Structure 1
Amino acid sequence: MAMNLNNSNDKWKKGIMALCIVLALSACDKKKEKPASSSLTETSQHSSATEHVEHQTKEDRNKPVQNLEQVISEKMNVYIKCYNSLDKSIHSSIVRYTSWVNDLGKGPTGNERIVYGIYPVTQERVTNCLSEIKKVAEMKPELKAIDSIAVNYIESSAKLVPEINLLADYYDQEDYKDDNFSKGKENHHHLMAGYQKFESVSAEFSQSIEKISDERQITFLQHIEKENGLTLDYYSLAILIDAKQINRMIEGDTFDTTQALAMVAELQNKVKSALPLVTKLKNEGGTSYMGYDALFREIDSYVKAAKERIRRVRDNVSYTDFEKRQLGTNSEWMVEGSVGKLIDKYNRFIDQFNRL
């Protein structure tokens, strides 16, 4: 669906921000525990191409691709890394821009009271990802569900980011004061045309990553339980999967609040089961417990934000005028019970998960 350029406060803004942050995450491939070689062979023969997770060390990634699982892991690692690296930055730039340009169809008038400009996006990230994505997309076998989408994503990013950075420099240097906004008005339409194309491809790319990651995470969780039991790695991933399901429900304007609270309670039960394992690890000495300790602190913050979101909807609590002005902006994370705060806390949890 094309975005509405006539209203900078439309829901597209919040929805896009949620999508890009929610997916700043799926890194099962990075987890320490990995399937035994015999299980790998059996799974690759009898399961779909997206049903397994294989950890790859730096040395592994530098070797020629030898098997199906290695191809899947290498492709998904690159796609997820580049999505995480670019998507939030690009969307945040546009949100910043729309915070002061009132009519996106027409662009800046030159009479704006405040000119915030637009956040730049690191060009090096785009250049590196353009090379990496095109390289892995050509690897065989093809992942039809995502390869071409990934290429479209990075190509649209490569066209959009120079437009963003051109205007970022223009507004940062306040050159609009010298040309009466002439360059800003002219390049606005190039920016919006590039963003409209990027926005639709971004949504498609995020959905493809999410679908494949869901399958891989569930399969990996089952493997951990079978091979190692209910370990900290098991609980960490199980909680991540639960949190994704909770988000999908409570990001909407209406949902079953009783069911949502029950889902949060189930997540908290997993936390209670995992915490003694963190304590045990701590008592054994060393510092390996510290990553999990930090993880469960972030989970606790996420749970609180989820409950705030559910209570606001359940109790039909309206946003104040001040809060309404924060919605759909980069400041939404500060609004209690908002989707923006939910996603911010979730993203922090995922960031810590990826550090394990």
Structure 2
Amino acid sequence: MAQQQVSPPPDLGLHEIADADLDRYIAKSNGVVGLLNASLRGKDSWARYLSWVDVKRGPTGKERIIYGLYSVGSSAKRDIDTARKTAGDKPAIPALDDATKQLASTFEALIPILNEAEAYYDRKDYLADNMAGGKALHDKLVPAAMAFLAARATTEALQNQLKDALDRAELAKIEKAEGKSVRWHVRNTMVLAKRAVELMPSSPKGGADLPQFDATLAAFGSAVRDFDTAIRESGKSTSIDSYPRDILGKLREMRDSIAKGRADNVSYSMDYNSVIQQYNMMVTMSNAFR
């Protein structure tokens, strides 16, 4: 697989966000997230291409299966334009603003190539031209995709820094107004659940940062205990009451199976997907408490 080396992103320096600026930072974050979500289609299309093409050699027409690529819909232009606008809005976050603009430009440049390629392979033109068109598209696609993937990786890493700062600011705002209320515990648990799920090993056979996962899992466990206590003592219930402990329990089972070398790929993959589904449902349900 062709890979683009990406340097570690700079520290945004957003260690504290004032209450008065919170909404403006959230608006900037929403613009970046919209672009990242839209550009997932470009990332998925490239992955589909890699599933059947040797990138160094390019398409030959002799591949066992020719899958083609995915196109990107016209709605992506709205997300590109919105991200460009929010990148220029105040307050400025230079590193993230520049990365967002770069992602918008590289994604915009990649889209017509992906769409042309999808149409070429759908028409099976390669059967009529001996893959000449596919080879020409490959020469345009690879540099455009590499630039896009590098820009996307940088933007996503910087956006994660902004999201962490926003989470801290939102928690501080709630605590200032309500103390460590049930709503505070919901938000705190959601923040730590997100980190734990993101660090969850995708495979039981290594390749993950297990020490970092273990530390995050311990913090998540503490937050879930505090969340359960707050719910019990409040005498009230929320729409996500059981989700945090269910996710925590499954993550601990998965970590235990890795430690004991008992995890097989099939069952682990099922558990992994189950955690993702539970987490996504919890996110949807928790929106009532934002």
TM-score (norm 2): 0.77
Map 1:259-270 onto structure 2 (within 5 A): 259=215, 262-270=218-226
Letter in 2 for 1:51: I
Letter in 2 for 1:76: S
Shifted more, 170-179 versus 303-312: the winner is 303-312
Verify the 8 A CA contact 1:298 1:352 in the aligned structure 2: no
Q: Is it true that 1:51 corresponds to 2:1 in the alignment?
A: no
Q: State the 1:91 CA deviation.
A: 1.7
Match of 2:258 in 1: 313
Match of 2:39 in 1: 87
Match of 1:272 in 2: 228
Letter in 2 for 1:91: K
Summarize deviations over 1:304-326 as a string: whole Å, max 9, x none. Answer: 55335413421234655xx5xxx
Map 1:32-71 onto structure 2 (within 5 A): 51-52=17-18, 68-71=21-24
Match of 2:192 in 1: 242
Q: How many residue pairs get matched?
A: 275
Partner Cα separation in structure 1 for residue 219 and residue 270 of structure 2: 20
Q: Please give the secondary structure, in 1, of the residue aligned with 2:94.
A: coil
Partner Cα separation in structure 2 for residue 53 and residue 170 of structure 1: 52
Give the alignment's Cα RMSD to 1 decimal.
3.4
Match of 1:139 in 2: 89
Map 1:189-338 onto structure 2 (within 5 A): 189-247=139-197, 249-251=199-201, 252-256=207-211, 259=215, 262-273=218-229, 276=232, 280=236, 293=239, 295=240, 299=244, 302-303=247-248, 306-317=251-262, 319=264, 335-336=269-270
Partner Cα separation in structure 2 for residue 144 and residue 111 of structure 1: 47
Match of 1:111 in 2: 62
Verify the 8 A CA contact 2:16 2:169 in the aligned structure 1: no
Rate the CA distance shift 1:234–1:337 in 2: closer, same or farther, 3 A: same
Partner Cα separation in structure 1 for residue 178 and residue 153 of structure 2: 36
Q: State the 1:81 CA deviation.
A: 2.2
* Among candidates 20, 25, 36, match of residue 72 of structure 1: 25
Partner Cα separation in structure 2 for residue 135 and residue 261 of structure 1: 37
Match of 1:284 in 2: none
- Between the aligned residues of both structures, percent identity stands at 22
Partner Cα separation in structure 2 for residue 278 and residue 93 of structure 1: 48
Partner Cα separation in structure 1 for residue 131 and residue 19 of structure 2: 52
TM-score (norm 1): 0.65
Partner Cα separation in structure 2 for residue 179 and residue 344 of structure 1: 44
Summarize deviations over 1:248-280 as a string: whole Å, max 9, x none. Answer: 654453524765653453243245236559983
Match of 1:130 in 2: 80
Higher RCO by CA contacts (8 Å cutoff, separation 6 or greater): 1
Verify the 8 A CA contact 1:146 1:209 in the aligned structure 2: yes
Summarize deviations over 1:140-191 as a string: whole Å, max 9, x none. Answer: 4422131111111111110112212222222233333332322222212322
Partner Cα separation in structure 2 for residue 296 and residue 196 of structure 1: 43
Q: State the 1:131 CA deviation.
A: 1.9
Partner Cα separation in structure 2 for residue 113 and residue 343 of structure 1: 33
Gaps of 5+ in 2: 5-12, 202-206
Verify the 8 A CA contact 1:305 1:345 in the aligned structure 2: no
Gaps of 5+ in 1: 13-46, 55-67, 282-291, 324-332
Partner Cα separation in structure 2 for residue 122 and residue 278 of structure 1: 47
Verify the 8 A CA contact 1:309 1:336 in the aligned structure 2: no
Q: State the 1:241 CA deviation.
A: 1.7
Rate the CA distance shift 1:81–1:176 in 2: closer, same or farther, 3 A: same
Rate the CA distance shift 1:258–1:81 in 2: closer, same or farther, 3 A: closer
Match of 1:25 in 2: none
Verify the 8 A CA contact 2:52 2:63 in the aligned structure 1: yes
